[in-house]
Amino acid sequence: MDTTLQDPLVGHVLDGRYRVDARIAVGGMATVYRAVDTRLDRVLALKVMHPTLAADVSFVERFIREAKSVARLSHPNVVGVFDQSADGAYVYLAMEYVAGCTLRDVLRERGALQPRAALDILEPVLAALGAAHRAGFVHRDMKPENVLIGDDGRVKVADFGLVRAVDTITSTTGSILGTVSYLAPEQIEHGTADTRVDVYACGVVLYEMLTGAKPHSGGTAAQVLYQHLHEDVPAPSAAVPGLAVALDELVASATARNPEIRPYDAVALLARAREARAELGDEQLDAVPPQARAEAHDGSQDRTSVIPRALGAARTPVPAAGGHGGHQEPLNRTSRLQTQPPGPPQPRPPRRRAFVPRRGVLALIVAVLLVLGVGAGVWYINSGQFTRVPPLLAQSEKQAGKRLSDAGLDVKKVERKFSDSFDRGAVMNSAPKSGERIRTNGSVTLVVSRGPEIVKVPDLERMPLAKARGELEKTGLAPGIVTREFDEDIAQGAVIRTKPAAGTGRQPDSAVAMVVSKGAPLDVPDVTGETAEDATFELKEAGFTVRSAPDRVFSPEDAGSVAGQSAAEGDQLAEGDTITLTVSKGPRMISVPDVVGDNIDDAKAELKEAGFVVEVDRPFLSFSDEIASQSVDAGGEAPEGSTITIKTKGL
């Protein structure tokens, strides 16, 4: 049965402008429709909040926040928002319509994807999220349902309904929003969400694309939350033997339970994804996964539901599937996790203990010490189990990790703090500190400098681009978009200015755009008709790079001469820019039609259609329009574009 027929909005016109044609999908917060903007005559998608939620101010604010935040993002991989308004009880967004399917549809249909296909989807997703992160926003609900794949192959990220500004990092004890299967541990335990929660979710999505299944599964939401907190995401190759190690490492990096170890944002993860792709050969990229279907998944698992957050934050084991418990929520829903008050204590039967007389225990200890030797036991307890933390201060994070590894220790976590004393990336403290005793095989927490809390944009004017990029990274800023323009005073390839300008204070890792000089503009000369050799010499003398088109063409120019050039006379290019020359193979020879006996108009039309220029010779005092002769006999050949003279009858 077509349920859209029962939807009261189908066929309705919102705001006197948007005609609702069909229902596309139903979510926990809203329903999405295909509609037509009758004012601009274009197809779009309408996301209409459920009327029952429109009375909730917080939901309406979140809805409006989505419109404003996404409208600020101009990126080819982000679903655009055109309009936001309300019509009575209907609060809606007008969005770009993407004809195609979701990544969830693809996984449900195909199961595991080839690594090349998985990376082809992941990279534009990360590009979209990277634009959001650099613009100051976190998506917070990345999952296959929010990855749209158009019929033309374009990949777009949708549903920024849970978006939150990076500067207003969530830290709540009451509730958080997200989808259970893709929540990062810090979201579950502390309710915090910065750019790294999107990185974690993308790692889970990548695992799902490579294996066809989610890394954590269970009969209840609580079981999945517990696994996020206590279990690492397994290597994809454990489920699909033969997958490259680089893919395992990429998933492990993105889904590290400690957020400090993950890539800082989607831009950093995108760089690692491209590095992983570069390490793989065609055989590894095109490895065919097992022909297994993806996990069963129905639409009901995408809806907003209430799940006790205490299930995840308690850090205690949860009942196995089928164990006694209350309502079990689907694991793929976008969920509001709320703290619930603890229930009444449950009485437990006392555990029985074996009774051992005090004298028996003492006798047993004495016997063990006699067997092992008291001296050896004391040495083992006081020395053999301990070592000392090696010197780590001012070392890079990588160098510190190696020193710890060489000492038999590992890194427990990495904390990053601002510092005016230590260079960015240098270890400024550790716990335990350098020189302190620690158990062998113990873990050390590193505190790494983020550099000054506010970084001033350096003066990069006249600096070569490569050096300018290095200077930005050294300062703690990120090289941003590079645009180029002509400048007669600044050398080609050097920085003209930055945005923001030099001296402006920015937070570390902020992107700085640069305008780079193309040098003084050069005027392009006209070399059409010259020999290819002469034209190449003239253009190189003018400062251009010259290449020849692979194929020659028919043209009125002599064979071997230039028939065309990629930049026209008077165009301005930069020194070293390439101009492509197309060389003539001479005019095409075509047959001349017979026009003798025709009138002037018919003869001219026939000759022009054949590809000739026509001239008319009318004898003195001739009043006839009939053609008496033509300069090239009928059936003969003449160059295309050449002139044929036709003569009318005389007296």
pLDDT (tens digit, 9 = 90+) per residue, 540-597? 999 999 999 999 999 888 999 999 999 999 899 999 999 999 999 998 899 999 999 9
User: Where in the chain are the domains?
Assistant: 3-95, 101-318+328-338, 375-449, 455-517, 522-583, 589-648
- Determine the Cα–Cα distance for residues 384 and 261; give it in Å rounded to an integer: 31
DSSP 3-state assignment of 271? Answer: helix
Q: Give 552's DSSP letter.
A: -
Query: Which of 3.30.1490.190, 3.40.50.2000, 3.30.930.10, 3.30.10.20 is the CATH number of 375-449?
Result: 3.30.10.20
- Determine the Cα–Cα distance for residues 23 and 7; give it in Å rounded to an integer: 8
For residue 357, the model assigns a pLDDT of 40
Average pLDDT, rounded, for the chain:
81
Is this model's pTM higher than 0.85 or not? no
Nearest to 149 by CA among 192, 74, 209, 213: 209
Amino acid letter, 449: S
- Determine the Cα–Cα distance for residues 531 and 115; give it in Å rounded to an integer: 51
> What are the pLDDT digits (tens) for 460-495?
999 999 999 999 988 888 898 899 999 999 999 999
Query: What is 589-648's CATH number?
Result: 3.30.10.20
Encoded tokens for 193:
């969400």
**Between β-strands 147-150 and 100-102, what pairing exists: parallel, antiparallel or unpaired?**
antiparallel
Note whether 555 and 563 are within 8 A (CB): yes
- Inform me whether the pLDDT recorded for 28 exceeds 50: yes
- Determine the Cα–Cα distance for residues 261 and 412; give it in Å rounded to an integer: 10
- The domain defined by 101-318+328-338 folds into Transferase(Phosphotransferase); domain 1 (1.10.510)
- Determine the Cα–Cα distance for residues 378 and 373; give it in Å rounded to an integer: 9
> What are the pLDDT digits (tens) for 162-180?
555 444 334 333 444 568 8
Encoded tokens for 570:
């008077």
Looking at domain 3-95, its CATH architecture is: 2-Layer Sandwich (3.30)
For residue 5, the model assigns a pLDDT of 52
Encoded tokens for 44:
């779009």
- From the list 87, 120, 141, 523, the catalytic residue is 141
Query: Which of 3.30.10.20, 3.40.50.11060, 3.40.630.30, 3.40.470.10 is the CATH number of 455-517?
Result: 3.30.10.20
Backbone torsion region of residue 16, taken as left when φ is above 0, otherwise alpha when ψ lies between -120 and 50, otherwise beta: left
> What are the pLDDT digits (tens) for 586-615?
988 999 999 999 999 999 999 999 999 999
- The domain defined by 522-583 folds into Trypsin Inhibitor V; Chain A (3.30.10)
**In Å, how far are 133, 170, 260, 425, 427 from 417, measured between CA atoms?**
20, 19, 11, 10, 10
Q: Is 141 a catalytic residue?
A: yes
- Inform me whether the pLDDT recorded for 306 exceeds 60: no
Same fold, 455-517 and 522-583: yes
Q: Give 382's DSSP letter.
A: I
Q: Give φ, ψ of 32 to 5 degrees.
A: -110, 130
